[in-house]
Each structure stands twice: as C-alpha cells, then as structure tokens.
Structure 1
Amino acid sequence: MENKTSSYIKYALGEIILVVIGILIALQINTWNTQRIDRAKEQEYLLNLVEDIKAQQILVNDQINHEKKMRLQVEKALVHLNSESINADTVNKYITNITRKSFVVNDPTFQDLKSSGNILLIRNNALRKKILSFYQYLDYSALVIQTSNETGISEFRDFLMKYPVVNINFKDTFKVAGNIDWSVKTVSIPWAKKLQEDKLNNKEFLFVVLNHVAQRGRNSSVHIDIMQRMEKRIIAMQNDIEQNLDND
C-alpha cells in the first residue's frame, strides 16, 4: 500500500509539473508572439514616420520658397520706394504680391502614436525622445509662423488696405497664398494713381510705409531661419529612424 501511495503521489506530482511546464511554454510562446507582433508594429510605425517626414520636407521647402519670394518682393519695393521717382504702378506690382502662407504640419503617424499609447512600442528610448522632441519643435515652428501671420503680417495687410499705399484695383487678378484668387473684376480709377503717388511723396507717410514694408521682409527672414533649422532636424530625424530600421 505504501508503495502504491508513493507511486500515486509521484504520478500526481509529475502530472502537475507537466501541466506547469505546459503553461510556462504556452506563456512563453504567447510572449514571443506578442513581441513579434509589437516589433512588426514598431517597424510599420517607423516606416510611416519616415514617409511623413519626407512629406514634411516638401512642405518646409514650399514655405522657404514662398518666404524667399516675399522677401525679394519686399527688397524690390524698398528700393523703389527709396528712389527719386515713385511710380504707383510699380508700387502696386511689388507690394500687392506680398502675401502670407500658413505652415502645414504633417504628423498623422505621430498623432496616432500619441493617442493610442503606441509610442512605447518604439524600444529605443533615445530614439523615442528624439521623435518627441522633433514634433515639439515642429509644432513650435508652426505656432511662430501662425502668430507672425496673424499679428505682424496681418497688420501690414490692414495698413495697406486702410491707407492709399497700394491700389488693389489696378489688375483683375489678385491672388493670396495657395494661389487663391479673391479679387473681383477691377475697374479703372484714373484719379487713384495720382492720389497714391501724392501720398507716397509725403516723406513722413513714406517713412511709415518703408518701416511696414521692411518689417514684412524681416518676418520672412525669421520664417526662413526657422524653416532652415527645421530642415536640419528633418535630415537628422530621418537618419536616426532609418538607422534604427537597419538594425532590426
């Protein structure tokens, strides 16, 4: 009886050990499978981030090109306004084409990572911090340009509209950023040109105009500097992510 009891106990213990081992193996397999799925998700997110960043580079280039064009228009306007003979048509040509452009942030993958909590799928802690820092600076850059557009540049446009600095009726098409035409069919106003030139021949008023135009150019210079810094961050961020992809 003692031998049978001992055999039963050993058998029972063996069964328990086998069950435990089976559970542990199942848990390990499940862990490996979960890790495999997470790694696949991580790689997909990183690839999508690279695509978003490439698209962002195009938007940054568009912003730089626009701001350079605006600064060039400002420089031409300043030269003419500082000349001996101010021609209203020339002023209209240069200044009415000085527009503003909103900077667009392209971050769908990053927003998904944040909202879903999947940012933690990125195992490389240093890379994760760099990604967070990159998009923080991107949002900061967009905010600076937005604030500049809504304050300084808007004031510039309001000043032009309030005082006879330019005549927006001198041509049929007047376009703003994005190539949007918001003009109506213009009419000829013979006396407008003389009114405009007489006003600009007033040195005190002309000095105010020069300051407003110059400040618009400085706004573009600031925007260009921010975008060029953003370009460097884009290159560095893309390299960091691609290096991480190459290591997997």
Structure 2
Amino acid sequence: MIKFFRKIRQNLLSDGKTGKYFKYAIGEIVLVMVGILLAVQVNNWNIDKNNSKQEVALLSQLENEYEENLKEVNEKIEMRFAILSSINELFSYIDNGIEGVPLDTIRLHITRTFKNPTFDGPDGVIQEILNSGKLYLIQNPELKIHLSNWKNTVQKVVEEEQLLVTHNTTYYYEYCRQNFNQRKMRGNSSEDELMNVYRLSDNKTTDDFKITGENSESEYRKYLNDITISNYLLWSNAYCRNANIQSIGLKEKIEQILGIIRTELKNKSE
C-alpha cells in the first residue's frame, strides 16, 4: 500500500503536476491522521470494554463480601441483644430473688455476660481495590466514597466494641475469678447456640476434655447479691447498647452499599 502511494507521488512529480501533488500529499496526510484517530478510538474502546469487564467482576466480588459483612454484623447485633436480655433477667433476679427459677436458666444468663461480640467482617476485596489502585474502575462516585471510607466506618463500631472487651477482660473476668467458685456455676446444660454463631466448626471432639461442674444455688445467690457484680452488669449494659447503636448504623450502611452494587450490576447486565 505504501509503495502504491509512493508511485502515485513520483508519477505526479515526473509529470510536472506540482499542484496536484501537493493536493494529493495533503489528502494523504489527512488519510493517515484519520487512520490514527480511528486506531486510537478502537484502542480506547477496547480499554473501556476491558475496564467494564473488570468492574463487573469487582462489583460481583464486592457484593459477596458485603453480604458476608451484613451476615456478620447481624449476628453480632443479635448476640448483644441476647446479652442485654440476660443482663435484664439478672437484675430481675437481683431485685426479686430466684425462687422457682431453674438453675440452668440462671447459669445461661450469667454465661452470656462473659461474651465479647466483635465485628470481624471480611474486607479483602475492598483492600485489594484500594491498595492496587483499581478504585478508578468503579464508575459510581457514591460507591467510591463508601469504599474509601469503609475502614473508618468500621472503626467507629470497633471502638465501641473494645470498651466492652476491655471492661470484661480487665475487670469483670478477674473479679469473678477471685470471688466465685467457677465450677459451682457451670452445670452440664446444653450449649447456648445463639451465642456460638461465631464458631468455625461444630466439631464436638473437644467435649471429651470438658471439665464438669455443678449448679450451686448458694453460689448463684452470692453472685446476684454482690454489689460489685451489679455495677459491672450496669457497665456491660451501657457498652452493649452503645456498640449496638453503632452496629445498627453499620448494618444500614452495608445495606445501602449493597443496594448501589446491585443496581450497578443490573444496569451493566442490560
């Protein structure tokens, strides 16, 4: 093709047709420029198509990850509501006594106060997008903001959760270890399934090494009549409520993000 155009130019020059030569040269330049522009446009189209495929893949991964986050935050909210309910029941026993109350029930409520629900939702896809510089692939500006702020959003929940963890591990647990016979406050009743949702396995082989105990009414009365225990339970109640306020806010944020992701995926599939 190049030889063909060169031959035309040479013929025009040899025939002395200078004017036609310049017109032809200009036309050839324009043709080359049009070719370059078309090539650039095709290349940009290919890049956009590839970016769009990558975005859809990332959105699908984000949808799965945020679904896991929603499940996680719901579980922890329910666990804290269970703890709050048990604290409320314990104060009812403190105020009204435990006549007629099954000792296994008292044990259940006391055991729940030793739990520390914390949000541990996955963020691998989010971090990959942010750390690898792939955030530009996400076209929705609102979703970009949510992803960029995700770490700070979760941190607000974690800060409240850690107050309960610190309260329990630093004060409440130690006080109970020093002042109550733990084997007299652990009967052989069934596990509290609501509080064990965080377990990765239901394997019961470790039950072979479980240390047995008993439900001692006198030990439970001692616990319930202890003013320091009442104070610890009051603080646990406050920390649980505050953590759930933040967790419910996080849940709403996750649902909002999932709504954006699903809308984007639906629009891109049409």
- The one of 137, 142, 148 aligned to 2:153: 137
Residue 185 of structure 1 corresponds to which residue in structure 2?
Answer: 211
Deviations 1:8-35 (A, max 9, x none): 5555444443333222211111011101
Q: How far apart, CA to CA, are the structure 2 residues paired with 1:156 and 1:209?
A: 8
- The one of 52, 57, 72 aligned to 1:59: 72
Are 1:104 and 1:142, in contact at CA under 8 Å, matched by a contact in 2? no
Structure 1 window deviating more from structure 2 (92-101 vs 178-187): it is: 178-187
Q: How far apart, CA to CA, are the structure 2 residues paired with 1:133 and 1:184?
A: 44
- The one of 52, 61, 77 aligned to 1:39: 52
Deviations 1:48-104 (A, max 9, x none): 222222221111111111111111111111211233568995654421233222211
Q: How far apart, CA to CA, are the structure 1 residues paired with 2:22 and 2:220?
A: 110
Asked whether 1:235 is paired with 2:255, we answer: yes
Residue 237 of structure 2 corresponds to which residue in structure 1?
Answer: 217
Are 1:172 and 1:185, in contact at CA under 8 Å, matched by a contact in 2? no
Q: How far apart, CA to CA, are the structure 2 residues paired with 1:19 and 1:68?
A: 72
Asked whether 1:80 is paired with 2:100, we answer: no
Residue 7 of structure 2 corresponds to which residue in structure 1?
Answer: none
Query: Normalized against structure 1, the TM-score is what?
Result: 0.78
Counterparts in 2 of 1:213 and 1:119: CA distance versus 1, 3 Å: same
Q: How many residues align?
A: 241
Counterparts in 2 of 1:207 and 1:41: CA distance versus 1, 3 Å: same
Residue 113 of structure 1 corresponds to which residue in structure 2?
Answer: 129
- The one of 24, 37, 43 aligned to 1:30: 43
Aligned sequence identity (%) = 18
**Larger Cα Rg: Structure 1 or Structure 2?**
2
Structure 2 unaligned regions, length at least 5: 1-13
Are 1:92 and 1:168, in contact at CA under 8 Å, matched by a contact in 2? no
Counterparts in 2 of 1:97 and 1:165: CA distance versus 1, 3 Å: farther
Residue 153 of structure 1 corresponds to which residue in structure 2?
Answer: 168
Counterparts in 2 of 1:13 and 1:197: CA distance versus 1, 3 Å: closer
Counterparts in 2 of 1:167 and 1:210: CA distance versus 1, 3 Å: farther
Residue 31 of structure 2 corresponds to which residue in structure 1?
Answer: 18
Secondary structure of the residue aligned to 1:123 is coil
CA RMSD of superposed structures (Å) = 3.4
Q: How far apart, CA to CA, are the structure 2 residues paired with 1:78 and 1:216?
A: 12
Residue 140 of structure 2 corresponds to which residue in structure 1?
Answer: 124
Secondary structure of the residue aligned to 1:104 is coil
Q: How far apart, CA to CA, are the structure 1 residues paired with 2:151 and 2:60?
A: 16
Residue 10 of structure 2 corresponds to which residue in structure 1?
Answer: none
Q: How far 1:38 moved relative to its partner?
A: 0.9
Residue 120 of structure 2 corresponds to which residue in structure 1?
Answer: 104
Counterparts in 2 of 1:33 and 1:168: CA distance versus 1, 3 Å: farther
Query: Normalized against structure 2, the TM-score is what?
Result: 0.73
